[in-house]
Amino acid sequence: MKRRGLTVIEVLVSLVVLATGAIITLGAIGLSVKATTASSQNSEAVCYSRRILEIALTPGPRSVYVESGINTQYTNTFRPLYSNDTGVAPPFAIEDFTNSLDSKDLLRFRKDAQNYTYRVQVSPFVDPVDPRANKYGDQLLQVTVEMEWFDKMGRRTLRTGGLYSRL
> CB of 101: closest distance to another protein in angstroms?
11
**Quick one: 10 or 102, whose CB is closer to another protein?**
10
H/E run at residue 51: helix 8-57
**Quick one: 28 or 107, whose CB is closer to another protein?**
28
> CB of 33: closest distance to another protein in angstroms?
9
Residues binding another protein (CB under 8 A): 1-4, 6, 10-11, 13-14, 17-18, 21-22, 24-25, 28-29, 31-32, 35-36, 39, 42-43, 46, 49-50, 53, 59-61, 65-68, 125, 127-133, 135-137, 139-140, 144, 158-167
**Quick one: 67 or 85, whose CB is closer to another protein?**
67
> CB of 158: closest distance to another protein in angstroms?
7
